[in-house]
Amino acid sequence: MLIVQKYGGTSVGTVERIEAVAQRVIQTRKAGNDVVVVVSAMSGETNKLLDFAAYFSKSPNQREVDMLLSSGERVTSALLAIALSELGYPAVSMSGRQAGIVTDNFHTKARIEKIDVAQMQARLNEGNIVVVAGFQGVTCNGEVSTLGRGGSDLSAVAIAGALEANLCEIYTDVDGVYTTDPRIEPKAKKLDKISYDEMLELASLGAKVLQSRSVEMAKKLNVNLVTRSSFNNNEGTLITKEDNIMEQPLVSGIALDKNQARVTLRGVTDKPGIAAEIFKKLADSNVNVDMIIQNVGHDGTTNLGFTVPQNELEATRKAMSELKASDVVEYDSDIVKVSVVGVGMKSHSGVACIAFDTMAKENINIEMISTSEIKISLVIQAKYGELAVRALHSAYKLDK
Ligand code: ADP
Ligand code: ASP
Ligand code: MG
Protein backbone atom coordinates (compact mmCIF):
# COMPACT_ATOMS: atom_id res chain seq x y z
CA MET A 1 0.00 0.00 0.00
CA LEU A 2 0.97 3.63 -0.44
CA ILE A 3 0.19 5.70 2.64
CA VAL A 4 0.45 9.48 3.00
CA GLN A 5 0.90 10.63 6.61
CA LYS A 6 0.73 14.28 7.65
CA TYR A 7 2.09 15.45 10.99
CA GLY A 8 0.96 18.83 12.33
CA GLY A 9 2.83 21.45 14.32
CA THR A 10 2.55 19.95 17.82
CA SER A 11 3.42 16.51 16.46
CA VAL A 12 6.80 17.86 15.26
CA GLY A 13 7.11 20.60 17.90
CA THR A 14 10.47 19.47 19.35
CA VAL A 15 13.36 17.26 18.25
CA GLU A 16 12.03 14.56 20.61
CA ARG A 17 8.65 14.74 18.90
CA ILE A 18 10.33 14.47 15.48
CA GLU A 19 12.13 11.37 16.75
CA ALA A 20 8.77 9.88 17.84
CA VAL A 21 7.29 10.67 14.42
CA ALA A 22 10.26 8.93 12.78
CA GLN A 23 9.47 5.81 14.82
CA ARG A 24 5.84 5.90 13.73
CA VAL A 25 6.79 6.30 10.07
CA ILE A 26 9.21 3.38 10.40
CA GLN A 27 6.43 1.15 11.81
CA THR A 28 4.35 1.90 8.73
CA ARG A 29 7.32 1.25 6.46
CA LYS A 30 8.16 -2.01 8.25
CA ALA A 31 4.59 -3.20 7.66
CA GLY A 32 5.50 -3.19 3.96
CA ASN A 33 4.05 0.14 2.88
CA ASP A 34 5.48 2.93 0.77
CA VAL A 35 5.27 6.14 2.78
CA VAL A 36 5.10 9.80 1.85
CA VAL A 37 5.22 12.05 4.92
CA VAL A 38 4.00 15.64 4.85
CA VAL A 39 5.10 17.86 7.73
CA SER A 40 4.06 21.20 9.19
CA ALA A 41 6.42 23.70 10.76
CA MET A 42 7.18 23.22 14.48
CA SER A 43 4.22 24.54 16.50
CA GLY A 44 4.30 28.31 16.94
CA GLU A 45 6.90 28.73 14.20
CA THR A 46 4.62 30.17 11.51
CA ASN A 47 3.20 32.73 13.97
CA LYS A 48 6.70 33.64 15.10
CA LEU A 49 7.77 34.28 11.50
CA LEU A 50 4.67 36.43 10.90
CA ASP A 51 5.48 38.45 14.03
CA PHE A 52 8.96 39.09 12.70
CA ALA A 53 7.51 40.45 9.46
CA ALA A 54 4.97 42.55 11.40
CA TYR A 55 7.86 44.23 13.21
CA PHE A 56 8.81 45.84 9.90
CA SER A 57 5.50 46.31 8.15
CA LYS A 58 1.73 46.31 8.68
CA SER A 59 1.23 44.99 5.15
CA PRO A 60 4.41 43.19 4.11
CA ASN A 61 4.94 42.19 0.49
CA GLN A 62 3.09 38.89 0.09
CA ARG A 63 5.76 37.31 -2.07
CA GLU A 64 8.28 37.89 0.71
CA VAL A 65 5.85 36.54 3.30
CA ASP A 66 5.70 33.31 1.31
CA MET A 67 9.50 33.09 1.13
CA LEU A 68 9.55 33.58 4.89
CA LEU A 69 6.74 31.20 5.89
CA SER A 70 7.77 28.34 3.60
CA SER A 71 11.03 28.07 5.53
CA GLY A 72 9.26 26.65 8.63
CA GLU A 73 8.13 23.48 6.89
CA ARG A 74 11.49 23.01 5.18
CA VAL A 75 13.20 22.84 8.57
CA THR A 76 11.00 19.99 9.83
CA SER A 77 11.09 18.06 6.55
CA ALA A 78 14.90 18.03 6.52
CA LEU A 79 15.13 17.16 10.23
CA LEU A 80 12.74 14.23 9.84
CA ALA A 81 14.65 12.93 6.80
CA ILE A 82 17.90 13.14 8.79
CA ALA A 83 16.31 11.31 11.74
CA LEU A 84 14.91 8.55 9.50
CA SER A 85 18.21 7.98 7.68
CA GLU A 86 20.06 7.80 10.99
CA LEU A 87 17.66 5.06 12.11
CA GLY A 88 18.54 3.07 8.98
CA TYR A 89 15.63 4.03 6.74
CA PRO A 90 16.63 5.93 3.60
CA ALA A 91 14.63 9.15 3.38
CA VAL A 92 14.71 12.27 1.28
CA SER A 93 13.12 15.64 2.04
CA MET A 94 11.52 17.74 -0.69
CA SER A 95 10.32 21.34 -0.81
CA GLY A 96 6.94 22.07 -2.40
CA ARG A 97 8.68 22.89 -5.66
CA GLN A 98 10.73 19.68 -5.67
CA ALA A 99 7.57 17.70 -4.94
CA GLY A 100 6.04 19.22 -8.09
CA ILE A 101 3.23 21.17 -6.38
CA VAL A 102 2.22 23.87 -8.85
CA THR A 103 -0.12 26.64 -7.65
CA ASP A 104 -1.72 29.83 -8.93
CA ASN A 105 -0.18 33.24 -8.18
CA PHE A 106 -2.20 34.23 -5.10
CA HIS A 107 0.57 34.55 -2.54
CA THR A 108 -0.29 33.41 1.02
CA LYS A 109 -3.50 31.68 -0.13
CA ALA A 110 -2.51 29.97 -3.34
CA ARG A 111 -4.56 27.17 -4.86
CA ILE A 112 -2.97 23.97 -6.11
CA GLU A 113 -3.36 23.71 -9.90
CA LYS A 114 -1.56 20.45 -10.49
CA ILE A 115 0.99 18.11 -8.99
CA ASP A 116 3.77 16.71 -11.14
CA VAL A 117 4.48 13.49 -9.22
CA ALA A 118 7.52 12.35 -11.26
CA GLN A 119 10.16 13.38 -8.70
CA MET A 120 8.27 11.97 -5.72
CA GLN A 121 7.55 8.76 -7.61
CA ALA A 122 11.21 8.38 -8.64
CA ARG A 123 12.36 8.79 -5.02
CA LEU A 124 9.80 6.26 -3.83
CA ASN A 125 10.85 3.79 -6.53
CA GLU A 126 14.44 4.05 -5.25
CA GLY A 127 13.14 2.81 -1.90
CA ASN A 128 13.06 6.12 -0.05
CA ILE A 129 10.62 7.46 2.45
CA VAL A 130 9.68 10.79 0.90
CA VAL A 131 9.27 13.70 3.34
CA VAL A 132 7.52 16.71 1.80
CA ALA A 133 7.47 20.20 3.32
CA GLY A 134 3.75 20.97 3.65
CA PHE A 135 1.87 24.25 3.12
CA GLN A 136 3.83 25.30 0.02
CA GLY A 137 4.14 25.10 -3.72
CA VAL A 138 5.60 26.93 -6.66
CA THR A 139 3.81 29.24 -9.12
CA CYS A 140 4.22 28.74 -12.86
CA ASN A 141 6.65 31.70 -12.72
CA GLY A 142 8.85 29.78 -10.31
CA GLU A 143 7.88 31.83 -7.25
CA VAL A 144 7.42 30.18 -3.85
CA SER A 145 3.78 30.19 -2.69
CA THR A 146 1.94 29.06 0.44
CA LEU A 147 -1.54 27.54 0.72
CA GLY A 148 -3.20 29.48 3.57
CA ARG A 149 -3.10 28.75 7.29
CA GLY A 150 -3.40 25.08 8.12
CA GLY A 151 -2.40 24.34 4.52
CA SER A 152 -0.26 21.28 5.22
CA ASP A 153 -3.51 19.30 5.44
CA LEU A 154 -4.20 20.34 1.87
CA SER A 155 -0.69 19.37 0.75
CA ALA A 156 -1.20 15.90 2.20
CA VAL A 157 -4.61 15.32 0.64
CA ALA A 158 -3.56 16.66 -2.75
CA ILE A 159 -0.45 14.47 -2.76
CA ALA A 160 -2.51 11.44 -1.72
CA GLY A 161 -4.90 12.17 -4.59
CA ALA A 162 -2.15 12.70 -7.15
CA LEU A 163 -0.23 9.55 -6.16
CA GLU A 164 -3.49 7.59 -5.85
CA ALA A 165 -2.49 6.61 -2.32
CA ASN A 166 -4.58 4.00 -0.51
CA LEU A 167 -4.88 6.12 2.62
CA CYS A 168 -4.20 9.66 3.87
CA GLU A 169 -3.68 9.94 7.63
CA ILE A 170 -3.69 13.36 9.31
CA TYR A 171 -1.84 13.08 12.62
CA THR A 172 -2.56 15.81 15.16
CA ASP A 173 -2.82 16.50 18.90
CA VAL A 174 -6.39 15.20 19.43
CA ASP A 175 -7.79 11.71 18.77
CA GLY A 176 -9.88 12.73 15.78
CA VAL A 177 -12.88 14.88 14.92
CA TYR A 178 -15.08 15.60 17.95
CA THR A 179 -18.63 16.92 18.28
CA THR A 180 -16.95 20.22 19.14
CA ASP A 181 -13.45 21.44 20.06
CA PRO A 182 -12.57 19.23 23.08
CA ARG A 183 -10.50 22.11 24.45
CA ILE A 184 -13.69 24.16 24.80
CA GLU A 185 -16.08 21.38 25.86
CA PRO A 186 -14.39 18.46 27.64
CA LYS A 187 -17.66 16.49 27.27
CA ALA A 188 -17.24 16.51 23.46
CA LYS A 189 -17.41 13.04 21.90
CA LYS A 190 -15.11 11.67 19.25
CA LEU A 191 -16.87 10.73 16.02
CA ASP A 192 -15.95 7.40 14.38
CA LYS A 193 -17.08 8.65 10.99
CA ILE A 194 -18.21 11.91 9.48
CA SER A 195 -19.33 12.75 5.94
CA TYR A 196 -17.20 14.96 3.69
CA ASP A 197 -19.99 17.55 3.56
CA GLU A 198 -20.40 17.88 7.31
CA MET A 199 -16.65 17.98 7.83
CA LEU A 200 -16.40 20.64 5.16
CA GLU A 201 -18.97 22.79 6.94
CA LEU A 202 -17.37 22.27 10.37
CA ALA A 203 -13.92 23.09 8.97
CA SER A 204 -15.00 26.20 7.09
CA LEU A 205 -16.92 27.36 10.17
CA GLY A 206 -13.86 27.24 12.41
CA ALA A 207 -13.07 23.63 13.43
CA LYS A 208 -9.40 23.82 12.58
CA VAL A 209 -8.76 20.09 13.09
CA LEU A 210 -8.82 19.95 9.27
CA GLN A 211 -8.29 22.82 6.85
CA SER A 212 -11.51 23.25 4.86
CA ARG A 213 -9.87 23.19 1.44
CA SER A 214 -8.26 19.85 2.28
CA VAL A 215 -11.71 18.38 2.92
CA GLU A 216 -13.02 19.85 -0.34
CA MET A 217 -10.12 18.26 -2.18
CA ALA A 218 -10.57 14.90 -0.40
CA LYS A 219 -14.22 14.83 -1.47
CA LYS A 220 -13.38 15.76 -5.04
CA LEU A 221 -10.60 13.17 -5.39
CA ASN A 222 -12.32 10.56 -3.23
CA VAL A 223 -9.34 10.32 -0.85
CA ASN A 224 -9.65 7.92 2.10
CA LEU A 225 -9.04 10.40 4.88
CA VAL A 226 -8.46 9.65 8.56
CA THR A 227 -7.54 12.04 11.39
CA ARG A 228 -5.90 10.63 14.49
CA SER A 229 -3.46 11.43 17.26
CA SER A 230 0.30 11.16 16.93
CA PHE A 231 0.48 10.82 20.74
CA ASN A 232 -1.32 7.44 21.08
CA ASN A 233 -2.60 4.50 19.04
CA ASN A 234 -6.33 5.20 19.39
CA GLU A 235 -8.50 4.83 16.33
CA GLY A 236 -9.22 8.13 14.68
CA THR A 237 -12.12 9.53 12.65
CA LEU A 238 -12.83 8.43 9.08
CA ILE A 239 -14.00 11.19 6.74
CA THR A 240 -16.06 9.48 4.06
CA LYS A 241 -19.05 9.57 1.68
CA GLU A 242 -22.47 10.13 3.23
CA ASP A 243 -23.68 6.71 1.92
CA ASN A 244 -21.05 4.97 4.05
CA ILE A 245 -22.64 6.27 7.23
CA MET A 246 -25.63 4.23 8.35
CA GLU A 247 -27.39 6.56 10.72
CA GLN A 248 -27.22 10.30 10.25
CA PRO A 249 -27.62 12.25 13.48
CA LEU A 250 -29.67 15.44 13.42
CA VAL A 251 -26.65 17.50 14.45
CA SER A 252 -23.04 16.31 14.17
CA GLY A 253 -21.12 19.15 15.69
CA ILE A 254 -20.70 22.73 16.86
CA ALA A 255 -17.96 25.01 15.53
CA LEU A 256 -16.57 28.30 16.82
CA ASP A 257 -14.84 30.79 14.54
CA LYS A 258 -12.95 33.48 16.44
CA ASN A 259 -11.30 34.86 13.35
CA GLN A 260 -14.25 36.94 12.09
CA ALA A 261 -14.83 40.67 12.10
CA ARG A 262 -17.98 42.60 11.27
CA VAL A 263 -18.14 45.60 8.98
CA THR A 264 -21.17 47.90 9.00
CA LEU A 265 -21.79 50.56 6.36
CA ARG A 266 -24.35 53.12 7.53
CA GLY A 267 -26.41 55.36 5.26
CA VAL A 268 -25.64 53.57 2.00
CA THR A 269 -27.64 54.98 -0.94
CA ASP A 270 -30.55 52.60 -1.52
CA LYS A 271 -30.42 52.12 -5.30
CA PRO A 272 -29.94 49.17 -7.66
CA GLY A 273 -26.34 48.15 -8.23
CA ILE A 274 -24.89 49.41 -4.96
CA ALA A 275 -24.40 45.95 -3.41
CA ALA A 276 -22.82 44.76 -6.65
CA GLU A 277 -20.38 47.66 -6.51
CA ILE A 278 -19.39 47.06 -2.88
CA PHE A 279 -18.94 43.31 -3.14
CA LYS A 280 -17.14 43.50 -6.46
CA LYS A 281 -14.65 45.90 -4.90
CA LEU A 282 -14.12 43.44 -2.02
CA ALA A 283 -13.77 40.48 -4.37
CA ASP A 284 -11.19 42.40 -6.42
CA SER A 285 -9.29 43.06 -3.18
CA ASN A 286 -9.30 39.30 -2.54
CA VAL A 287 -11.44 39.64 0.60
CA ASN A 288 -13.64 36.66 1.52
CA VAL A 289 -17.02 38.04 2.56
CA ASP A 290 -19.18 35.66 4.55
CA MET A 291 -22.46 36.68 6.20
CA ILE A 292 -24.31 39.65 4.70
CA ILE A 293 -27.26 41.55 6.15
CA GLN A 294 -29.05 44.46 4.53
CA ASN A 295 -31.75 46.33 6.40
CA VAL A 296 -34.99 47.53 4.85
CA GLY A 297 -34.13 51.02 3.67
CA HIS A 298 -35.96 54.25 4.36
CA ASP A 299 -35.40 57.86 3.29
CA GLY A 300 -33.37 56.54 0.35
CA THR A 301 -30.62 55.01 2.47
CA THR A 302 -29.97 51.68 4.13
CA ASN A 303 -27.43 49.92 6.38
CA LEU A 304 -25.34 47.03 5.14
CA GLY A 305 -23.44 44.63 7.40
CA PHE A 306 -21.12 41.76 6.55
CA THR A 307 -18.37 39.65 8.08
CA VAL A 308 -14.80 39.13 6.82
CA PRO A 309 -11.81 37.19 8.24
CA GLN A 310 -9.93 39.34 10.77
CA ASN A 311 -6.69 39.08 8.84
CA GLU A 312 -8.44 40.63 5.81
CA LEU A 313 -9.65 43.66 7.76
CA GLU A 314 -6.77 45.82 6.56
CA ALA A 315 -7.58 45.01 2.92
CA THR A 316 -11.27 45.68 3.66
CA ARG A 317 -10.52 49.12 5.17
CA LYS A 318 -8.47 50.02 2.13
CA ALA A 319 -11.18 48.87 -0.28
CA MET A 320 -13.92 50.74 1.62
CA SER A 321 -11.94 53.98 1.75
CA GLU A 322 -11.31 53.81 -2.00
CA LEU A 323 -14.95 53.07 -2.78
CA LYS A 324 -16.62 55.69 -0.50
CA ALA A 325 -20.02 53.94 -0.70
CA SER A 326 -20.87 55.19 2.79
CA ASP A 327 -19.66 57.99 5.07
CA VAL A 328 -19.84 55.88 8.19
CA VAL A 329 -18.02 52.53 8.24
CA GLU A 330 -17.76 50.65 11.54
CA TYR A 331 -15.39 47.75 12.20
CA ASP A 332 -15.91 45.29 15.05
CA SER A 333 -13.43 42.47 15.71
CA ASP A 334 -15.04 41.65 19.02
CA ILE A 335 -17.44 39.10 17.58
CA VAL A 336 -17.40 35.35 16.94
CA LYS A 337 -19.42 32.99 14.82
CA VAL A 338 -20.93 29.85 16.42
CA SER A 339 -22.38 27.24 14.09
CA VAL A 340 -24.45 24.10 14.41
CA VAL A 341 -23.83 21.55 11.64
CA GLY A 342 -25.77 18.42 10.68
CA VAL A 343 -26.84 16.65 7.50
CA GLY A 344 -29.93 15.45 9.40
CA MET A 345 -31.27 19.05 9.41
CA LYS A 346 -32.21 18.67 5.76
CA SER A 347 -35.23 16.57 6.68
CA HIS A 348 -36.19 18.08 10.06
CA SER A 349 -37.80 21.36 10.98
CA GLY A 350 -37.36 23.21 14.26
CA VAL A 351 -33.63 22.55 14.52
CA ALA A 352 -32.81 26.26 14.37
CA CYS A 353 -35.34 27.08 17.10
CA ILE A 354 -33.32 25.07 19.61
CA ALA A 355 -30.32 27.31 18.89
CA PHE A 356 -32.35 30.52 19.29
CA ASP A 357 -33.93 29.24 22.52
CA THR A 358 -30.54 28.31 23.90
CA MET A 359 -29.16 31.78 23.25
CA ALA A 360 -32.23 33.32 24.88
CA LYS A 361 -31.83 31.15 27.99
CA GLU A 362 -28.18 32.17 28.28
CA ASN A 363 -29.14 35.80 27.70
CA ILE A 364 -26.83 36.04 24.67
CA ASN A 365 -27.85 38.52 21.99
CA ILE A 366 -27.78 37.19 18.42
CA GLU A 367 -26.37 39.87 16.10
CA MET A 368 -26.49 38.06 12.75
CA ILE A 369 -27.98 34.77 11.55
CA SER A 370 -27.37 32.68 8.47
CA THR A 371 -28.67 29.23 7.61
CA SER A 372 -28.20 26.62 4.92
CA GLU A 373 -29.57 23.11 4.41
CA ILE A 374 -27.08 21.67 6.85
CA LYS A 375 -26.00 24.52 9.15
CA ILE A 376 -27.08 27.44 11.32
CA SER A 377 -24.57 30.19 12.09
CA LEU A 378 -24.95 32.92 14.69
CA VAL A 379 -22.77 35.98 15.19
CA ILE A 380 -22.54 36.94 18.86
CA GLN A 381 -20.21 38.95 21.10
CA ALA A 382 -16.79 37.32 21.43
CA LYS A 383 -16.91 37.01 25.21
CA TYR A 384 -19.89 34.62 24.96
CA GLY A 385 -18.33 32.34 22.31
CA GLU A 386 -17.22 29.43 24.46
CA LEU A 387 -20.30 29.60 26.69
CA ALA A 388 -22.50 29.43 23.58
CA VAL A 389 -20.59 26.39 22.28
CA ARG A 390 -21.07 24.50 25.55
CA ALA A 391 -24.74 25.48 25.84
CA LEU A 392 -25.50 24.41 22.26
CA HIS A 393 -23.51 21.19 22.68
CA SER A 394 -25.71 20.24 25.58
CA ALA A 395 -28.98 21.55 24.02
CA TYR A 396 -28.47 19.30 20.99
CA LYS A 397 -27.55 16.43 23.35
CA LEU A 398 -24.15 15.88 21.76
CA ASP A 399 -22.68 14.86 25.11
CA LYS A 400 -25.06 11.87 25.31
P1 ADP B 1 -2.15 20.55 13.68
O2 ADP B 1 -1.09 21.47 14.16
O3 ADP B 1 -1.87 19.11 13.97
O4 ADP B 1 -2.55 20.81 12.25
P5 ADP B 1 -4.43 22.08 14.61
O6 ADP B 1 -4.15 22.89 15.81
O7 ADP B 1 -4.45 22.76 13.28
O8 ADP B 1 -3.42 20.84 14.59
O9 ADP B 1 -5.82 21.30 14.77
C10 ADP B 1 -6.07 20.51 15.92
C11 ADP B 1 -6.90 21.29 16.93
O12 ADP B 1 -8.19 21.52 16.38
C13 ADP B 1 -7.18 20.56 18.22
O14 ADP B 1 -6.14 20.72 19.14
C15 ADP B 1 -8.50 21.18 18.69
O16 ADP B 1 -8.30 22.13 19.72
C17 ADP B 1 -9.02 21.89 17.45
N18 ADP B 1 -10.41 21.55 17.13
C19 ADP B 1 -11.38 22.45 16.82
N20 ADP B 1 -12.53 21.85 16.57
C21 ADP B 1 -12.33 20.52 16.72
C22 ADP B 1 -13.17 19.37 16.59
N23 ADP B 1 -14.47 19.45 16.24
N24 ADP B 1 -12.61 18.14 16.80
C25 ADP B 1 -11.31 18.04 17.12
N26 ADP B 1 -10.47 19.10 17.27
C27 ADP B 1 -10.96 20.33 17.07
N1 ASP C 1 2.52 25.98 9.40
C2 ASP C 1 1.32 26.41 8.71
C3 ASP C 1 0.38 27.08 9.69
O4 ASP C 1 0.68 27.19 10.88
C5 ASP C 1 0.65 25.32 7.95
C6 ASP C 1 0.16 24.14 8.78
O7 ASP C 1 0.58 23.97 9.92
O8 ASP C 1 -0.64 23.36 8.25
O9 ASP C 1 -0.66 27.55 9.31
MG1 MG D 1 -3.77 22.29 11.35
pLDDT digits (tens, 9 = 90+) for 375-387: 999 999 999 999 9
* pTM score: 0.93
Inform me whether the pLDDT recorded for 271 exceeds 90.
no
β-pairing verdict for 368-372 and 2-7: unpaired
Amino acid letter, residue 181: D
Spatial strand order in the sheet of 136-139: 112-115, 101-103, 136-139, 144-146
The predicted structure's pLDDT at residue 135 = 98
| Burial class of residue 394, CB neighbours in 10 A (0-12, 13-18, 19+) | middle
- Distance of CA 42 from the midpoint of ligand 2 (Å): 9
The whole-angstrom distance between residue 237's C-alpha and the CA centroid of its chain comes to 17
Q: Spell out the domains of the chain, with CATH numbers in brackets.
A: 2-173 (3.40.1160.10)
Across the range 188-207, mean pLDDT stands at: 95
Query: Best mutation site among 73, 108, 147 for ligand 2, i.e. most ligand atoms within 8 A of its Cβ?
Result: 73
For residue 174, which ligand has an atom nearest its CA? 1
Q: How far apart (Å, rounded) are the C-alpha atoms in residues 202 and 336? A: 15
For residue 11, which ligand has an atom nearest its CA? 1
The predicted structure's pLDDT at residue 311 = 87
Across the range 84-107, mean pLDDT stands at: 98
Rounded to the nearest integer, the mean pLDDT of the chain is 95
β-pairing verdict for 136-139 and 144-146: antiparallel
User: Which tens digit of pLDDT belongs to each residue from 126-152?
Assistant: 999 999 999 999 999 999 999 999 999
The predicted structure's pLDDT at residue 347 = 81
Phi/psi-derived region of residue 121, left when phi > 0, alpha when psi is between -120 and 50, beta in every other case:
alpha
Across the range 263-285, mean pLDDT stands at: 91
The predicted structure's pLDDT at residue 103 = 98
| Burial class of residue 232, CB neighbours in 10 A (0-12, 13-18, 19+) | exposed
Q: Which is the closest atom of ligand 1 to the Cα of 176?
A: 25
The predicted structure's pLDDT at residue 70 = 98
Residues near 117 by Cβ (< 8 Å), separated by ≥ 6?
A: 100, 159, 162, 163
Closest CA to 330 of 349, 316, 309, 342: 316
Inform me whether the pLDDT recorded for 324 exceeds 90.
no
The predicted structure's pLDDT at residue 98 = 98
Q: How far apart (Å, rounded) are the C-alpha atoms in residues 284 and 197? A: 28
- Taking residue 215's Cβ as centre, other Cβ atoms within 10 Å add up to 26
Across the range 165-173, mean pLDDT stands at: 98
C-alpha distances in Å from residue 98, one per residue of 120, 125, 130, 164, 277: 8, 16, 11, 19, 42
The predicted structure's pLDDT at residue 323 = 87
pLDDT over 90, % of the chain: 85
The predicted structure's pLDDT at residue 270 = 85
At 341 the three-state DSSP class reads strand
Inform me whether the pLDDT recorded for 95 exceeds 90.
yes
- Distance of CA 41 from the midpoint of ligand 3 (Å): 10
- Distance of CA 40 from the midpoint of ligand 2 (Å): 6
Enumerate residues with CB within 5 Å of ligand 3 (an ion). 8, 150
β-pairing verdict for 129-133 and 91-94: parallel
Task: Decide whether any atom of ligand 1 lies within 6 Å of the 195 Cβ.
Answer: no
Provide the pLDDT confidence category of residue 294 given band limits of 50, 70 and 90: confident
User: Which tens digit of pLDDT belongs to each residue from 37-48?
Assistant: 999 999 999 999
